[in-house]
Amino acid sequence: MSNKTVLFDKHVEYKGKIVDFAGWQMPVNYGSQMDEHHQVRKDAGMFDVSHMVIVDLSEGDIKAFLQYLLANNVAKLQDAGKALYSCMLNETGGVIDDLIVYYMSDAWYRVVINAGTRDKDLAWINKHASAYKVKVKERDDLAMIAVQGPNARTKAFEALPVDVVEAAVPLKRFFGADCGEWFVGRTGYTGEDGFEIMLPSSEAEALWDKLAVAGIKPCGLGARDTLRLEAGMNLYGSDMTEDTSPLISGLSWTVALDPSEREFIGRRALEAEKATGVKQKIVGLILEERGVLRGHQKVIAEDETGKVIGEGEITSGTFSPSLQKSIALARVPVAIGKICKVEIRGKLLQAAVVKPVFVRDGQAV
Amino acid sequence: MSEVPSELKYTESHEWLRVEDDGLVTVGISDHAQALLGDLVFVELPEVATEFVAGDECCVVESVKAASDVYMPISGEVVEVNEVLADEPEIINSSPYDSGWLFKIKPSADELADLMDAEAYQATLEE
């Protein structure tokens, strides 16, 4: 299987290096992943994220459905346009996917899920939607372009249709607004300000060109990964899977156990996990020696006194273009101290243990 | 199109070799290889005075994206490594055949004839 987004020809035209990603032919870079990374941190870059799956929910009792389907509580969404990040769990508390849900009105919620999990997500959503008489509609007629960086919004205003600009200008962070068939969310996956723009597929190529003319440079999936990792944002399939609960994936903040009477899928498993004590957590690592941290490398965890207390594993690792050091997310025993060792090709290298966020809004944290 | 200098020898795993006037052999990775890897951020060079057999993993080059092994193209002893790469691995991207060389070896056997010339290597890239 090899799908192409509606922007595929643009990627070729803009000299993108095409790779297979979750069954999609996507640009990994347009020359230099490093340059694209800095472009987003310092100015503005754009990503084709049309492979992601947009799902509209209408009719029936959507709020009650989402309160049952998701680990986060959509009752937090009081204002029209507000977005919420949540996990969708299975009965054992494992993560089926992570997603963003926008509350547009009581009669319309929009959900954005990952490309790699499309089939199982849609099957799961549909399976549970029927009890609430909710209509589930995949919006494969829409494309999605993310514009990210400190200057992304300002530059995007030069390229977007006037009425879309009017809808986008007043948006606060983590809000979205629709304008006809267009939709703009002040959201993203880079740790920078910006928009995620959904629009009819037939208009996507023209917008791509206009955004480029406005000075927003095309960026590939390579930069997207280093940007999200620096921002401490989880990647589904690497940092959490169906076999890991959000409680050991750095996602406790997205699980709403209050109010206690809200039943949601996975709740009982999470409560049982809490009752017996959560044994692992996600931390950030900064390698203090030369080398590059990568997924699946073994972490030797030490407590504050330097005593070895167990092992962990890197879930995502890379070289951070912003920090010029190697960084990682790792799942480790909860009692880990401020330093640890990572095994790279048989050698033990020292890494600092930090909060799992490295860069936000262009600044090292 | 990647650059394939005609005076060098090549391997299927994208190393290049140059026989120097003193009989030592300089090894690096090809322009094609550096382009595939993307921005290089780390190089783990072999230890000087280590003996290798042709085909041994002897060095690792890492880009932002991935780690890739470099294989010893011919048997011999490592006599010098390009120390500059420790601080500036990106030189491999900008100058794969010149300043971006990896190490020099003193060959222990006559295996150069087994390697590809530029024309043969170019043909493998076009397949």
DSSP codes, A133-161: T-EEEE-TTEEEEEEESTTHHHHHHTTS-
Check if CATH label 2.40.50.100 holds for domain B9-108: yes
> Is A321 in Cβ contact with B42 (below 8 Å)?
no
d(CA A72, CA A306): 37
Q: How far is B54 from chain A (nearest CA, A)?
A: 20
**Residue A264 CA from chain centroid, whole number:** 22
Q: Are residues A263 and A195 in the same domain?
A: yes
Mutate which of B40, B60, B65, B84 to disrupt the A interface (most A C-beta within 10 Å)?
B65
Q: How far is A272 from chain B (nearest CA, A)?
A: 38
How many interface pairs between A and B have CB atoms less than 8 angstroms apart?
38
**Confidence check: pLDDT of B127 > 80:** no
The stretches of chain A forming alpha helices (DSSP H) are: 8-13, 33-42, 62-69, 118-129, 152-157, 162-168, 204-213, 221-230, 267-276
C-alpha distance from residue B51 to each of A28, A195, A348, B27 (Å): 38, 55, 24, 15
* List of chain B residues whose C-beta atoms are within 8 Å of the C-beta of residue A345: 44, 60
**pLDDT (average), residues A174-182:** 98
Q: Are residues A3 and A72 in the same domain?
A: yes
**pLDDT (average), residues A218-233:** 98
pLDDT tens, position by position, B10-28: 999 999 999 999 999 999 9
Domain residues for the domain of A306 are 279-364
Q: Are residues A226 and A144 in the same domain?
A: yes
- Count of structural domains, chain A: 2
How confident is the model at residue A2, as a pLDDT?
A: 87
Q: Are residues A310 and A238 in the same domain?
A: no
> In this structure, what CATH number is given to the domain that contains residue A200?
3.30.1360.120
How confident is the model at residue B2, as a pLDDT?
A: 87
Residue among B38, B42, B86 minimizing CB distance to A292: B42
Interstrand relation of B40-44 and A176-179 (parallel, antiparallel or unpaired):
unpaired
**Confidence check: pLDDT of B1 > 80:** no
CB proximity list for A244: less than 8 A, separation 6 or greater: A94, A95, A331
Scan for tokens 């989402």, then name that residue.
Answer: A66
Contact A294/B at CB under 8 A? yes
| Surface-to-core class of residue A78, CB atoms within 10 Å of its CB (0-12 exposed, 13-18 middle, 19+ buried) | exposed
> Is B38 in Cβ contact with A345 (below 8 Å)?
no
CA angle, B70 as apex, B32 and B65 as ends, to 5°?
Answer: 65
Contact A297/B at CB under 8 A? no
d(CA A217, CA A245): 37
d(CA A143, CA A145): 7
pLDDT tens, position by position, A261-320: 999 999 999 999 999 999 999 999 999 999 999 999 999 999 989 899 999 999 999 999
> Is A326 in Cβ contact with B64 (below 8 Å)?
no
**Confidence check: pLDDT of A365 > 90:** no
d(CA A242, CA A234): 14
Domain boundaries defined on chain B: 9-108
Q: Are residues A225 and A353 in the same domain?
A: no
Domain boundary among A223, A240, A274: A274
**Confidence check: pLDDT of A129 > 70:** yes
CA angle, A181 as apex, A111 and A58 as ends, to 5°?
Answer: 40
**pLDDT (average), residues B30-51:** 95
Domain boundary among A240, A274, A308: A274
Tokens, residue A31: 């020359």
Domain boundary among A274, A304, A336: A274
Residue A210 banded pLDDT, cuts 50, 70, 90: very high
Q: Are residues A265 and A119 in the same domain?
A: yes
Mutate which of A15, A318, A323, A325 to disrupt the B interface (most B C-beta within 10 Å)?
A318
Q: Are residues A1 and A86 in the same domain?
A: yes
- A87 membership: H or E segment, kind and range: strand A83-89
| Surface-to-core class of residue A280, CB atoms within 10 Å of its CB (0-12 exposed, 13-18 middle, 19+ buried) | buried
How confident is the model at residue B126, as a pLDDT?
A: 87
Q: Are residues A317 and A260 in the same domain?
A: no
Residue among B38, B41, B86 minimizing CB distance to A292: B41
d(CA A159, CA A84): 27
**Confidence check: pLDDT of A1 > 70:** no
